[in-house]
Amino acid sequence: MINVLIFFKIEGLIVSIIDSPATEQINRILILGWGLIGDLFIRVPLIEAIKKHFPNSEITVVVDPVCVMVLKNHPACDHVIPFSRDKHPLKKYLKNYISQAVALRRQRFDLCINLYFGGSSVFLTRVINARIRVCFDHTPALCRANNVLTPLPLFCGNWTLDLARMLIPLGIPLNSIRRGTSYYCSEGAKQFSTQFLAKNDSQIVAINLGAGADEKRWPVECFVELAVKLNREYGLKPLVFTNPGMEHLADEFISAYHRHGEAIHAPLMSIDHVAGLMLQCDYVVTGDTALMHLAFALKRPTLALFTYTRPETVGPEDTRYVSCFVPGKKDKDACGNLKGTTDIPLDKVYHGFCDLVKLVSNETVGG
């Protein structure tokens, strides 16, 4: 059994590393990746870096059921296991939790990396009992459950790079982690999108209206006004996605836009089919939601409206995108930075889109 290792910061650097003999024998890796779809997309570059560092290993990722499709076709993942954290009803939850934890323990993992580091992960980590267990050190429970600990970052910069600090003890340096995620669309979804858009002969701008929180939603009427301007100036036809639990938003858009022209209404569908449609679109306009991360993952030219969170936390370096952000007046994040506001002027968003068009045009001309 590997000894407990705790890594201390000296001038901002983590200075210890696991002895190489311990990491040379890593064949089976478990990654705890619970969280929302956007959270998992932020972690994808880390999974890719782990696979690159341990190319012969077999990687299993535990995710919430809604997130399975994010990794289902990803070549870095050998197994993606849906593991529900829904505690209702409690008896069913406990039965499933224990049975899945025992099944994972039987696989005798060499390495467990806890990229979730929430309360639900402590018991699972202890039951699985991988030889090397890596996590942050910010709670006594995590310190007891894991034997390789790194200091919890402040999460004031790019969240992917901050999470990647957990991998430094494994010999994976921060400069090997890219700021940008990936998604591998199925061939079935690509065929679906081709058939769905078979009668369309216009360039398309995909519009995502929904978000899990009200403060992340730019008003529908503003999206409609933007779509009218984009159709008039660039000849772009809007394709509007339908969000689960927020179907009324797409209905409102279609009803309002109908007076100005034709829009494509994409019904509620799987994230894989959404990805297939995005690949057919010329541009994407979205708030900071799961579909924004999907657009980044597919490398689609994206205008991202940050109405609450800040662009620097998730902005990719490998995707053509432009962010629109207006600081609010009161709310600040844990780092003391002002959060955004939904009051982003239409002109600012339109000019942001014009900048995106120029960015795409310049790259096209440059080859």
pLDDT of 34-64, one tens digit each? 999 999 999 999 999 999 999 999 999 999 9
Same domain, 12 and 95: yes
CATH code for the domain of 326: 3.40.50.2000
Judge whether 182 lies within some domain.
no
What is the model's pLDDT at position 213?
82
Number of domains in the chain: 2
What is the model's pLDDT at position 23?
60
Same domain, 129 and 210: no
Residue 56 token pair:
């012969």
| Band (15; pLDDT cuts 50, 70, 90) | very low
Same domain, 199 and 293: yes
Same domain, 79 and 227: no
Cα separation, 105 vs 22, whole angstroms: 20
Q: Choose one of 130, 147, 176: the last residue of a domain.
A: 176
Measuring CA to CA, how many Å separate 172 from each of 10, 53, 110, 291, 334?
Answer: 18, 7, 17, 29, 27
Question: pTM of the predicted model, to two decimals?
Answer: 0.92
* Host domain of residue 318: 187-365
The yes-or-no verdict on residue 8 having pLDDT over 90 is no
| Mean pLDDT along residues 282-296 | 97
Q: Quick one: angle between helices 346-365 and 220-234, nearest 10? A: 40
Same domain, 213 and 172: no
Residue 25 has a CB neighbour count (10 Å cut-off) of 10
Q: Choose one of 115, 141, 176: the last residue of a domain.
A: 176
| Mean pLDDT along residues 136-154 | 95
| Mean pLDDT along residues 318-322 | 96
What is the model's pLDDT at position 53?
96
Q: Please report, rounded to a whole number, the percentage of residues in the chain having pLDDT higher than 90.
A: 84
The yes-or-no verdict on residue 194 having pLDDT over 60 is yes
Same domain, 115 and 191: no
| Band (364; pLDDT cuts 50, 70, 90) | low
Residue pair 116/46 in contact (Cβ under 8 Å)? The answer is no
The yes-or-no verdict on residue 1 having pLDDT over 50 is no
Judge whether 71 lies within some domain.
yes
Judge whether 240 lies within some domain.
yes
The yes-or-no verdict on residue 294 having pLDDT over 90 is yes
Average of per-residue pLDDT values in the chain: 92
Residue 206 token pair:
């995909």
Half-sphere exposure for 116 (CA within 13 Å, toward CB) = 23
Same domain, 162 and 197: no
* Higher local confidence (pLDDT), 14 or 290: 290
Cα separation, 301 vs 312, whole angstroms: 17
Q: Choose one of 130, 154, 176: the last residue of a domain.
A: 176
Same domain, 162 and 211: no
Question: Which residue, chain included where needed, has tokens 């660039």?
Answer: 234
The strands making up 283-287's β-sheet, listed across from edge to edge, are 264-266, 237-241, 204-208, 283-287, 302-306, 321-325
